[in-house]
Amino acid sequence: MTAQIGGAAPAPDGLDGLAQALTRVLGERAGKVSRAAGELTVEVAADRLLEAAALLRDDPDLKFEMCMDVCGVDYLEYGQAEWTTVGATASGFSRGVARGGSGEPEARAPGRRFAAVYHLLSISRNQRVRLRVYCPDDEQPIVDSVTGIWASTDWFEREAFDMFGIMFRGHPDLRRLLTDYGFIGHPFRKDFPLSGNVEVRYDPEKRRVVYQPVSIEPRVLVPRVIRHDNRYDPELTQAKQNG
């Protein structure tokens, strides 16, 4: 059973019905369909992306006619990096790691660093889904371009290429979108320096803008901490709701 049209509230089993439809239509192309925060994410292998995308758009039980956005993700330290917290513990929400049985953070598997995430909308069925595809090569992340399926992804894929260095095979005009043509690196990668590699200034002697190595000394002024406010403290959250 799918969501109703015209802004009406979705049926209670709307996501369950959509998950069943995704599993049935995509079959073995769907590696995993997960549900979190009231949203569905379907994961497909990179070599099945174009097949899965065409089915998501054309199947009458899905009909995801529009791709609203394409995002890049860098999982370089996901589940491994420690958080600096006020009350540090070896477990619990105050840690940003996923530990294995040995007590050490679990290592990231090869081919799981970069992912392209597509946010799809079905206008006719009033439902949404998130499609995630991991790039098999961590050194040269590449996935197929879906511009032939959703024309709206042209600039979205260019943005993901510019910011994350994810290349989209078959894109008609894959070049930088937000940074300069001579920009070095990809600023949204987790290993990109916070202050960048170069800086720009106007040289009065040369009477033009010049590039030079960055002169800013990287400093962490505000550590990542979990503060005791109504976002995290259950008692404060409950008090706000009751008030």
pLDDT at 100: 64
Q: What is the greatest pairwise CA distance in the chain?
A: 70
User: Does residue 100 sit within a domain?
Assistant: no
pLDDT at 217: 77
User: Does residue 158 sit within a domain?
Assistant: yes
pLDDT at 189: 95
Burial class (CB in 10 A: 0-12, 13-18, 19+), 172: exposed
User: Does residue 221 sit within a domain?
Assistant: no
Under-50 pLDDT residues of the chain: 1-12, 92-94
Look at residue 161 and give its three-state secondary structure. Answer: helix
The CATH code of the domain that includes 162 is 3.30.460.80
User: Does residue 124 sit within a domain?
Assistant: yes
User: Does residue 148 sit within a domain?
Assistant: yes
pLDDT at 220: 61
pLDDT at 237: 59
Q: Which residue has the tokens 């509230």?
A: 9
Its domain, for residue 43, covers 14-76+113-188
Residue 158's nearest CA partner among 170, 147, 174, 146 is: 174
- Which tokens go with 175? 């070049």
User: Does residue 166 sit within a domain?
Assistant: yes
21-54 pLDDT, tens digit per residue, is 999 999 988 888 898 888 899 999 999 999 999 9
pLDDT at 199: 85
User: Does residue 218 sit within a domain?
Assistant: no
CA–CA distance, 133 with 147 (Å, rounded to integer): 15
State the total domains in the chain.
Answer: 1
CA–CA distance, 201 with 67 (Å, rounded to integer): 39
Cβ atoms of 33 and 40 within 8 Å: the answer is yes
User: Does residue 229 sit within a domain?
Assistant: no
pLDDT at 32: 85
Burial class (CB in 10 A: 0-12, 13-18, 19+), 235: exposed
